[in-house]
Structure 1
């Protein structure tokens, strides 16, 4: 950080993000996935409010400025996405205040983001749409083989984009056809590997570049192979969806598609919750909108007058 003659305290945006990332490690014990998410949203904020292309004076930030930024996000993003961005911004602003980069705590300027789970209906791909999506990758190429394995894994096991990016070779137990997945809250979920998922993974791993120092399953295909980030996994889903003529398909729709497949196949909400690693039954019940017939066992008999 440098101070000019007029009292302006400039800090390079890259340095601010590095400081914030260190705080997330030492002060919050945040996972790598969470750190990537929060630092990405903090950088987007700083890039927007920066007085120059690469530096910012955090002391000059004001409550109305923060509120205006959040309001603008609210016009462009769904409530759940906005809630995540607001959380990351609050944590960054609190860190900047605690570390002395700001003399005022502006976290209150972010304001609450209200979401109503009961009004949020998960949107899944129909079977014909899923077939078209899985047919989109060119499996004659390394990239297509990787994309196909990634898409099958997400649509069958309901993994999030970040969970796919963080999947390691050591997480796959081939002998018992199981895979360990690190999910939200730092928990580890153990899931069975269906035959089509296993075949797709084997096909990709046999063609994956070797040798490589990385133990992550999915690697980039351009330049020196490195582990795929959450954003890179999301881009794979969106790119293949466009190729399939499905328009914009976010990665989370494959998670919803996996849940729908369980219910359509006669599975229970408990099984959906186990597959997706839900912490509570309330979260799983968002999928009740998929199939009303599967709700019948949950309904209590209507009381008969006089009984």
Structure 2
């Protein structure tokens, strides 16, 4: 068996761990698990044809869904649990069935829900490619997240956003970078994955626009380069960005000055919100909360949903409907007055209510 794919996968996962600031103990623990899985595959390559299919699935899934490295690692980790259990139970594609799936999921504890998400994707992959005769996802249908009250998006007012602006020390090089990043998230609603991959070629200074392919949807989007955003980017490039041939705009603040990751963007914005002393209460305080806040502000200004959908780069307007719940003023304007109950209602049938 050629072990190169599993070596590349392990290296990719470990690199993702380092980039997302996992501590050394966690990284080493997962490295030991991956090494164990690799040894199983090398020694029992014929029996672990299932393991080969997992590797093929992960490669296709990453390219198709354009998932972040951290999410890819989680799916890899979850499916490694499944592969090891199937090895111990001497189960391969030829005898994989619903009973084996149920026995595996019943052995899971706190991680059951998350492992089953990855497993559903993989079992669907097998069924679509006719590697299994039946859809083995069926035993997983009963494993669902406990129903809970749907929460509204976390949003911050315009005044709170201004307070966050003032919390950034723009006299320092790191502050210049962080300010430009914050404006891209709060004024244009860019996702962290798009901010970290933004390149010089995406900026059209003549037309004052930003154009790029969204990492999440794979669709192109063009947004106006607001003066305050453009000036912040220029300030960072001229007086804060380390000298580098790297095409991405935003770099780390310490050597070797590589591109920042989506996790770095989240940490930067989280720190800005924390330093601003804005009361977060139960609200989220990452880059996505700024995206929600922008949508809320546009709704309050009466911006049509179709325009908001285009501005946020949603693949469909259905995604934008999620924000209707935070437009309290708009909802109140649509509400109807409750008619008064006439006095005769209370006196009918000698004051008794109908059963």
Q: TM-score, normalised by structure 2?
A: 0.62
Select which of 274, 287, 298 maps to 2:323. Answer: 287
Shift of 1:109: 5.7
Equivalent residues, number: 278
Which shifted more, 193-202 or 264-273?
A: 264-273
Shift of 1:293: 3.7
Q: How is 1:175-214 mapped onto 2 (pairs within 5 angstroms)?
A: 175-183=206-214, 184-206=216-238, 207-212=240-245, 214=246
Shift of 1:35: 5.3
Query: CA 1:283–1:114 in structure 2 vs 1: closer, same or farther (change >3 Å)?
Result: farther
Alignment match, 1:2: 42
Check conservation: 1:124, 1:260, Cα contact below 8 A: yes
Select which of 256, 269, 278 maps to 2:305. Answer: 269
Shift of 1:281: 2.8
1:153 correspondence with 2:187: no
Query: CA 1:148–1:24 in structure 2 vs 1: closer, same or farther (change >3 Å)?
Result: same
SS at match of 2:314: coil
Check conservation: 2:105, 2:116, Cα contact below 8 A: no
Larger Rg: 2
Select which of 21, 30, 34 maps to 2:64. Answer: 30
- Measure the CA separation in 2 of the matches of 1:88 and 1:180: 33
Check conservation: 1:142, 1:204, Cα contact below 8 A: yes
RMSD: 4.2
Residues 151-209 of structure 1 deviation map (CA, whole Å, 9 limit, x = unaligned): 11011111111121222211111111111132333111111111111111111122211
Q: How is 1:88-107 mapped onto 2 (pairs within 5 angstroms)?
A: 88-92=118-122
- Measure the CA separation in 2 of the matches of 1:178 and 1:117: 41
SS at match of 1:180: strand
1:132 correspondence with 2:160: no
Shift of 1:17: 9.2
Check conservation: 1:219, 1:226, Cα contact below 8 A: yes
Alignment match, 2:88: 60
Alignment match, 1:45: 78
Shift of 1:132: 2.6
SS at match of 2:249: coil
Shift of 1:141: 2.1
Check conservation: 1:67, 1:109, Cα contact below 8 A: no
- Measure the CA separation in 2 of the matches of 1:242 and 1:87: 33
Check conservation: 1:66, 1:109, Cα contact below 8 A: no
- Measure the CA separation in 2 of the matches of 1:149 and 1:273: 23
Query: CA 1:128–1:113 in structure 2 vs 1: closer, same or farther (change >3 Å)?
Result: farther
Check conservation: 1:234, 1:250, Cα contact below 8 A: yes
Query: CA 1:282–1:97 in structure 2 vs 1: closer, same or farther (change >3 Å)?
Result: closer
Q: TM-score, normalised by structure 1?
A: 0.71
**Structure 1 unpaired stretches of 5+:** 75-81, 301-307
Shift of 1:110: 5.0
- Measure the CA separation in 2 of the matches of 1:200 and 1:115: 44
Shift of 1:20: 5.9
1:258 correspondence with 2:286: no
Shift of 1:56: 5.2
Select which of 272, 275, 278 maps to 2:314. Answer: 278
Alignment match, 1:304: none
SS at match of 2:64: coil
- Measure the CA separation in 1 of the matches of 2:307 and 2:197: 24
